[in-house]
Amino acid sequence: MINPNIKCRRLVYLKLVCSFANEDTCLKKGFASRFFEFLFKKKEELSLYQELNGSILFNNGVKSSTPYIHLATQIGFLSISDGNKYNLNIEFHNFFSDDKAVLSTKDKSNLLLIIWKADALYFYLVATALSREKSNYDDIKRDFEALILELVSVVNHNSETYGILERVIQKTNSSIAFDSFFLTRANWLKDLGFVKIEEKKIGSGFLSHLEFHPSHELNKLLNQIDSKHSWQEILDTDQILPSLTFNYEFI
Q: For 106-127, how does the pLDDT look when each residue is reduced to its tens digit (9 = 90+)?
A: 899 889 988 988 888 889 899 9
Q: What is the pLDDT of residue 251?
A: 45
Q: What is the pLDDT of residues 161-199, one digit of tens each?
A: 888 888 888 888 888 888 889 999 999 999 999 999 988
Q: What is the pLDDT of residues 6-48, one digit of tens each?
A: 889 999 999 999 999 988 778 889 999 999 999 999 988 888 8
As a whole number of angstroms, the distance between CA 14 and CA 8 comes to 9
As a whole number of angstroms, the distance between CA 177 and CA 181 comes to 6
Residues 6+ apart with CB under 8 A from 245: 224
Query: Which secondary-structure segment (H or E) carries 226?
Result: helix 216-226
Q: Which residues of 148-173 are buried (b: 16+ CB within 10 A; e: fewer)?
A: beebeeebeeeeebeebbeebeebbe
How far lies 140's CA from each of 143, 160, 192, in Å? Answer: 5, 26, 20
Across the strands, what pairs with 201? 208
As a whole number of angstroms, the distance between CA 116 and CA 211 comes to 24
Helix, strand or coil for residue 242?
A: helix
CB 202 within 8 A of CB 129: no
As a whole number of angstroms, the distance between CA 28 and CA 231 comes to 41
For the chain, percent of residues with pLDDT exceeding 90: 33
Kindly write down the DSSP assignment for every residue of 114-183, as one continuous string. Answer: HHHHHHHHHHHHHHHHHHSS--BHHHHHHHHHHHHHHHHTTS-TTSHHHHHHHHHHHHHT-HHHHHHHHH
Q: What is the pLDDT of residues 235-251, one digit of tens each?
A: 665 555 555 555 555 44
CB 43 within 8 A of CB 58: yes
**Among candidate residues 144, 189, 172, the one with its CA nearest the CA of residue 54:** 189
Largest CA distance in the chain: 57
**Among candidate residues 233, 167, 193, 149, the one with its CA nearest the CA of residue 1:** 167
